[in-house]
Amino acid sequence: MRADVAHEAHVLVIGSGGAGVRAALEASRHGETLLVTKSVAGKGGCTPMAEGGYNAALREADSCVGHLEDTLKGGAYLNDLELVKVLVNEAPDRLRDLVRWGAVFDVTETCEVAQRSFGGQRFPRTCYAGDRTGHEMMMTLLEQLRASNVEVLQEVTVTDLLTREGAVVGAAVLDRTGRLEVIRADSTVLATGGGSRVYDVSTNSATGTGDGYSLGYGAGAELIDMEMVQFHPTGAVYPYDARGRLVTEAVRGEGGILRNAKGERFMSRYDPERMELSTRDVVARAIAREILEGRGTPRGGVYLDVTHLPAAQIEGRLPVMLEQFLAYGVDIRKEPMEVAPSAHHFMGGLRITPTGQTTVPGLFACGEVAGGVHGANRLGGNSLAETQVFGKRAGEAAGRAPSRGQRPEPRQLDLIERRLEGFLSGMVNPVMVERKLQLAMWKGAGIFRTGPELTQTLMEVEKLGRKRLHAPSKLNLAECMTVHHLCTTAMLVVKSALLRPESRGAHVRTDLTQAHDAANSPFGHTYLSQHRSGIEMKGGSP
């Protein structure tokens, strides 16, 4: 295996989700741009799966300040204020870009983009295209990508970011035949999405394996708040092999009722005021508690019931849910759904500036792989906006960055090659490592966490990370790399969770009692890189 520089570009974008494609479109205005993606372009990632919508303050009666305040409150005030300002101010313009490019959002009678209410927001500011908003955005972006001069390499997996003197100068990739290639670039944009697949139960697509966190960490970048994992309260539990599949929040929005196996409407014990419409973290914890304490269904969920609603309402407002459940033999007009929490979103990620610059020169990040926008808990609808706002910014900054012309260090390439060759003589089936890791994370770093369990989980994760993975042929090298990244990402989550000695937003330590509420927490971001780790204190510098 001898990797030569196979491709050169001014900007290399990694990932073809909402953030990656937006970044590539922008970067290509400034120089030669190459986009690489593990999937067929646009088919990977979570963007095409997003159902609910895109938050933007569009109306007179709404305001960016309102959007900002809702986002900070939802994020338990852990958000990076500068990033949130950028998000709320630019979300409307980026939405207009999509409209200009042909996005088919639902519209009002007066031809404005229609908006609906989403959890934690004082104004209905979530723009939507039925219940396939992300897919609509992805299709729109893909069309523009196909029309642009961006070069696209599909089904190519990035194994490592390549560095020279502390700066990122490109990436090593495995092509679809398993051959290692080198891409040299002046700037590199990471847009690899999230990592919720480190858990046994997850809503994410197959690429949600956290590659980007691991790639960034490997290149020396600093990550923040990696312990902040959003668990969606309602993932499907049946069939078992498809567990975790998202049951949209709209079901509760339409009036869905949660009951435990004893038939109790248990939300009255957790949030009597908002009941089922409480925030995601509260509902997720309530459901998890019911199941944990033995009041779950035999399949390990609780009931989510819409049978009291008129059939016409279900058919008209929840068509995709109706159709999906029917396919699994459940008529939600007549029987309740069974749901349980499912790992959904990583709020943390690479530390970025408002232009998407990471802590490493030459490396930019945008979308779910970046941290700071959502704080300790994400509002539904803010991520799709994030992909566009920060995708454009990162693409632009990467495009404007000077040419460097540096080549990767040969020594790093040697190491990469040796690791890949190791897989060919490895012993352990990566699928088994993945399964064990997911179970360990679900058990020890899930919704409820304690110090001792986290420590124990860290040991298990690190042990799994040291396994000598086996690739029967070169075609399986990418898969081994993915499991390698999965292990690193899990390690980052657990280490960060150990760094935060409080319960905040999505991070709950049941073994700690605390006097402060989120607004008065003395703590800021957790941070972690190859060089340092810790937690920021409010009012002091890290």
Partner 1 sequence: MAVRVFRWNPAREKEGKFRTYHVEVQEGARVLHVLHAIHAEDQTLSYRYCCGTGQCGSCAVQVDGEPKLACMTEARDGMTVEPLNLPVRKDLVVEMEPALAQIAPLLPKGQAECPAPEQIAAIKPLRECIECLACVSVCPAMEVAEFTGPAAMRQEMRLALDPRDAGGRIPEAIKAGLFTCTTCQACWKVCPKKIEIPGKAIEKLRALANREGLTLPRHLEVAELVKETGRTVPRTETSFLEQVDEVIEPAGPVKATVGFFVGCMYNLRLPKTALDAIQVLKRNGVRVIIPHEQVCCGSPLIRTGQLEYLPTLQQKNIECFTSRNIDTVMTMCAGCGSTLKNDYRTPFTVKDVNEILTEVGIEPPARLPLTVTYHDPCHLLRGQGIRDQPRALIRRVADLREMAVVKCCGAGGGTRSGAPEVSKALALKRDEEIIKTGADCVISSCPFCEFHIGTFSKTPVKNVTTLLLEGYRKKDEGKA
Ligand X SMILES: Cc1cc2nc3c(=O)[nH]c(=O)nc-3n(C[C@H](O)[C@H](O)[C@H](O)COP(=O)(O)OP(=O)(O)OC[C@H]3O[C@@H](n4cnc5c(N)ncnc54)[C@H](O)[C@@H]3O)c2cc1C
Catalytic residue positions, numbered: 232, 252
Which CB sits closer to partner 1, 144 or 159? 144
132 binds partner 1 (CB under 8 A): yes
- 303/305 Cα distance (integer angstroms): 6
Given candidates 39, 79, 248, 279, which one binds partner 1 under the rule CB under 8 A?
39
Q: Pick from partner 1, ligand X, none: which does 147 bind, CB < 5 to 8 A by kind?
A: partner 1
* Cα dist from 267 to 27, 74, 271, 274, 282, whole Å: 48, 20, 6, 9, 9
* Residues 144 to 173 in contact with partner 1, rule: CB under 8 A: 144, 146-147, 154
Q: Pick from ligand X, partner 1, none: which does 53 bind, CB < 5 to 8 A by kind?
A: ligand X
In 15-94, beta strands by DSSP E: 33-37, 54-55
3-state secondary structure 234-249: EEECCCHHHCCCECCC
186 binds ligand X (CB under 6 A): no
Minimum CB separation from partner 1 for residue 496, in Å? 27
Amino acid type, 62: D
- 358/372 Cα distance (integer angstroms): 12
90 binds ligand X (CB under 6 A): no
Given candidates 28, 383, 406, 503, which one binds ligand X under the rule CB under 6 A?
383
Distant-in-sequence contacts of 2-5, Cβ < 8 A, 24+ apart: 2/417, 3/172, 3/180, 3/181, 3/182, 3/413, 3/416, 3/417, 4/181, 4/182, 5/170, 5/182, 5/183, 5/184, 5/407
Given candidates 26, 90, 136, 453, which one binds partner 1 under the rule CB under 8 A?
136
Given candidates 33, 140, 188, 204, which one binds ligand X under the rule CB under 6 A?
204
Given candidates 25, 53, 374, 377, which one binds ligand X under the rule CB under 6 A?
53
* Cα dist from 303 to 28, 202, 282, 340, 441, whole Å: 49, 19, 17, 9, 25
Q: Pick from partner 1, ligand X, none: which does 107 bind, CB < 5 to 8 A by kind?
A: partner 1
Bridge pairing between strands 151-154 and 33-37: parallel
Bridge partners for 346 per DSSP? 229
Q: Pick from ligand X, partner 1, none: which does 438 bind, CB < 5 to 8 A by kind?
A: none
CB 488 within 8 A of CB 481: no
Token pair 């042909």 is found at 102
By the criterion CB under 8 A, which residues form the site for partner 1? 39-45, 48-49, 96-97, 99-102, 104-109, 111-113, 129-130, 132, 135-136, 139-140, 143-144, 146-147, 154, 176-177, 205-207, 238-242, 245-246, 324, 327-329, 429-432, 470-473, 475-476, 479
Binding stretches for ligand X (CB under 6 A): 14-20, 36-39, 44-47, 49-53, 133-134, 157-158, 191-194, 203-204, 207, 211, 246, 345, 367-369, 380-384, 387
